[in-house]
Amino acid sequence: MKIWKHFKTITNHKMLVMKGCFRLGLYRQGLLHDMSKYSPTEFIPGCKYYKGYMSPNNAERDDKGYSSAWLHHKGRNKHHLEYWIDYTGGDGKGEKAMGGMKMPIRYVVEMFVDRVCASKNYQKEKYTDASAYIYYENGKNYLILHPDTRALLEYLLVMLKEKGEEKTFSYIKQEVIKEKVPYEKTKLDELKNALHVPM
């Protein structure tokens, strides 16, 4: 078990996210981000399956067919899209199906920061402003997201890739968090397309 290495990895990630959230004025979220990773339910499997270049949750999943740490984590952290998966069709008509609920903007922003910082944490010197976008692109077809939430996340990832971190974080703080940007797929897609990046 690699206790110290795992502790350093999750703490470094937490500090990166905290700094990112603080830059955006999300102080409470920055302080509380990923605190459940220090609970025995998540910390012990993290140490056991530590790799250093990928999430131990993926290694545990490869070994056991599921990740007990992840199942615990996703149900306690609102910045994960999986927290927001629920039954759709709650109007009492028609069949219900699992779907992504529209996430509050502050958690979409924390999810964005989390993805950027995870890329920094695992890629280290290989990290670029395109890293989080590339990682998202490689797995986006498997993500269960509300269309508006997906559009906002994609818009921010593309902006980071095209405009860089300083401009993107400034835009998020001044426009997105203050709800000056429409949180609606059609309008967000138009804004994303204006960045001249095909999706």
User: What does pLDDT average to in each consecutive run of 10 residues of the chain (199 residues)?
Assistant: 92 96 98 97 96 90 96 96 88 78 98 96 93 96 96 98 97 97 96 75
- Let me know whether 127 and 184 are in one domain: yes
Task: Report the Cα–Cα distance between both ends of the chain, in Å, rounded.
Answer: 41
- Let me know whether 68 and 97 are in one domain: no
pLDDT at residue number 90: 63
Number of other residues whose CB lies within 10 A of the CB of residue 185: 17
Last residue of some domain: 76, 107, 141?
76
- Let me know whether 143 and 72 are in one domain: no
Count of the separate structural domains present in the chain = 2
- Let me know whether 32 and 86 are in one domain: no
Q: How far apart are CA 86 and CA 100, in angstroms?
A: 6
pLDDT at residue number 199: 45
The crossing angle, in degrees rounded to 10, of helices 147-163 and 131-139 is 150
pLDDT at residue number 1: 77
Q: How far apart are CA 103 and CA 81, in angstroms?
A: 8
Q: How far apart are CA 164 and CA 159, in angstroms?
A: 7
Q: How far apart are CA 8 and CA 46, in angstroms?
A: 11
Last residue of some domain: 50, 76, 102?
76
Domain encompassing residue 84: 78-199
pLDDT at residue number 92: 64
- Let me know whether 55 and 132 are in one domain: no
pLDDT at residue number 73: 97
For the entire predicted model, the pTM comes to: 0.92
Q: Report whether 57 contacts 67 (CB < 8 A).
A: yes
Q: Report whether 72 contacts 56 (CB < 8 A).
A: no
Tokens read off for 139: 């797995």
By residue count, the chain amounts to 199
